[in-house]
Amino acid sequence: PLLPPVTPPVTRVLATRAVRNAGLATLLALGFASLASAKSGAPAEVIAADRARCAAMVAADRAQLESTLHPTLTYVHSNGHVDTRASLIDGLAGDGVDYLSIEPVAPQVRVRGETAVLTTKVRLSVEAEGQVHDLEMFVTAVYFMSEGRWQLAAYQSVRPTD
């Protein structure tokens, strides 16, 4: 025959519905997987890891900092100074700036697999050169799931312009 066989309209409709239903089932499965991930508690775990990091910075607790900071950490202070994991820990243990308090305000967390992005306002109090400074910052922090725990991998803070 010169012409291709004609698929009866009913068969085409059923085939189209089957494809559409398979696509819908896939979308629903992905949606439920996302919900399951969101319900897994990962955002709360990241917030807890961030609070533990803040407490370790205030206490200048070297062991806790080594546990909460990822080995590849890049930490950008609001003044533009950049620290690695080692230089941040050494600076906190040395005679530089002492963190008296660090208080994240309403942190928001987005988790994608083994990576989480935390954004928040932070109120902190530091002592430098014998003077106490109360500051407010906006922070973006990236956490990696590593060695069974969330570790800070990147941090950048800026001071509000107002």
pLDDT band at residue 96 using 50, 70 and 90 as cut-offs: confident
The fraction of the chain above a pLDDT of 90, given in percent, is 67
Number of other residues whose CB lies within 10 A of the CB of residue 133: 12
The answer on pLDDT for 4 being more than 60 is no
Tens of pLDDT, residue by residue over 21-37, are: 544 444 334 444 444 44
Alpha-carbon gap, residue 162 to 63, rounded angstroms: 37
| Beta-bridge partner residues of 158 | 138
pLDDT of amino acid 41: 87
Which band of pLDDT confidence, cut at 50, 70 and 90, is reported for residue 5? low
What's the pLDDT score for residue 57?
96
